[in-house]
Structure 1
């Protein structure tokens, strides 16, 4: 296991809520706007890869895929497992169930 994969394992186990994110990613901005809307942004560990060079970003994304099966920006983890992406947030918003889904996972 690479040092990146070992770090990723530790990161997703260290907090109940973790988001793989990048400051240049519009989908990540959308997700963070959702968290702000519900007042829970501070409850989610943001693993920000946007400040790394491209090679390091790829190593982290590869490590997230190796450890969790997802390299998508953003990916939201709950209790060390993939909960969803921005697609899920959009889906829950369209269905009107976003607040209920966030309650289910204990975020609100």
Structure 2
């Protein structure tokens, strides 16, 4: 097992809410705007890969793909499992159920 896979597993296990993100990714910026809007940005641990060179960035993304089956930016994990991406956030916003969904996962009381 590569160090990247081991680290990806540790990151996912170590936080109730974690997001694989990159500072240059527009979908990640959108997801963070949702966290700010609902006052939960500080509850979502961010694993930022945007500052790495392309080789290291891809190693981390591949490691997350091996561990979780997904390498999207952003990928949102809840309790060690993939919860979704920005696509789910958009869907829940469109359907008017985002607040309810965030309550379901305990991000909002």
How high is the TM-score relative to the length of structure 2? 0.98
Q: CA RMSD in A?
A: 0.3
Match of 2:14 in 1: 14
Match of 1:83 in 2: 83
SS in 2 for 1:89: helix
SS in 2 for 1:107: coil
Distance 1:74 1:9 in 2: 16
Pairing 1:99–2:99 present: yes
CA-CA distance at 1:17 after TM superposition: 0.1
The runs of at least 4 consecutive aligned structure 1 residues that moved more than 2 Å come to none
Distance 1:91 1:44 in 2: 20
Match of 1:49 in 2: 49
CA-CA distance at 1:21 after TM superposition: 0.1
- Tell me how many residue pairs correspond in the alignment: 108
Unaligned runs of 5+ in 1: none
1:5-64 Cα distance to aligned partner (Å, 9 max, x none): 000000000010000000000000000000000000000110000010000000000000
Match of 1:39 in 2: 39
